[in-house]
Amino acid sequence: MRIPFTKMHGLGNDFVVLDARAQALPPINGDIAAALADRHTGIGCDQLVLIEPSGNADLKMRIFNHDGGEVEACGNAARAVGLLVGGELTIETLGGTIMARPDAAGIAVDMGEPRFDWDAIPLAYAMDTRAMPVGWDMLESPVAVNVGNPHAIFFVEDLSAVPLGQIGPVIEKDPIFPQGINVNVAQILSRDAIRLRVWERGAGLTRACGTGACSTAVGAMRRGLVDRKVTVSLPGGDLVIAWDEDTPERKGRITMTGPATIAYTGSFDWGAYA
């Protein structure tokens, strides 16, 4: 059985996108996702993205990390799906419903409200998530934020001095993070500019991380380090993140804006992976 796919990326964070809205696909599990994501024996990507019908949104977006783990959110993939499908979209994810729409800078995504309570990250026990009283080698006192998925953000003076490829996997799997964690290391450049590198849970170093940019921006705002709209510069390029103010009706929501790219389309033999 041949399965069509679209290879896409958001600032170099790359995806294999399968669309199961028109034609149901055989059931996908973590092992199949990891096999497709493998860059040597599969098609190769940071995340596998599955578009399915939804009962309460325009579509459902399922996300599998490179290691096969299914996760709650992926900001860059939300922009990719927004580009692929087009128009204004509500997207159901395991982390909540988000909204994508075309924008002069590419695609804008309303990522919803950030969560800060220790048990919403989640962490293994109660602590201050504005500055967790923990550290690993040169990295300490991270902010913890959940933007659909869990993130720890370390602010440093010199990003290039941090061996994130070595320290990232240690933090990712630390038992203080019962569901793992995406590890963000950020350098504040000004009141409206942040430089960021991310070790992603289940995918390692990526060229960009949309939810990482959202959580880092919000974490910096929580500490009063930046204004409520910032440009986050990742190795693959820039994202603009805004966090609007709480209103009497609702808590402030995050908007992430940036490009998305269709690289190519193809198909693969399902039997080779399942």
Q: Give the binding site for ligand API (CB under 6 A).
A: 13, 46-47, 65, 71, 74-76, 149, 182, 200-203, 206, 209-211
94: nearest Cα among 29, 148, 152: 148
Active-site residue among 34, 37, 74, 147?
A: 74
Phi, psi of 257 (to 5 degrees): -130, 135
Known binding-site residue numbers for substrate: 13, 47, 65, 75-76, 149, 182, 200-201, 210-211
In terms of CB distance, is 17 or 71 closer to ligand API?
71
Report CA-CA distances (Å) from 185 to 91, 138, 142, 251, 255: 28, 11, 9, 26, 21
DSSP SS3 for 264: strand
In terms of CB distance, is 65 or 255 closer to ligand API?
65
Residue at 238: amino acid letter: D
C-alpha–C-alpha distance, residues 271 and 274, integer Å: 5
C-alpha–C-alpha distance, residues 34 and 104, integer Å: 34
Shortest Cβ 249–ligand API spacing (Å):
27
Active-site residue among 49, 63, 83, 209?
A: 209
In terms of CB distance, is 31 or 246 closer to ligand API?
31
Q: Catalytic site residue 209? A: yes
Shortest Cβ 23–ligand API spacing (Å):
26
Q: Catalytic site residue 45? A: no
Residue 250 CB neighbours (<10 A): 9
In terms of CB distance, is 3 or 73 closer to ligand API?
73
- Are 32 and 107 in contact by the 8 Å Cβ rule? The answer is no
Shortest Cβ 235–ligand API spacing (Å):
13
Shortest Cβ 24–ligand API spacing (Å):
25
Which residues have a catalytic role annotated? 74, 209
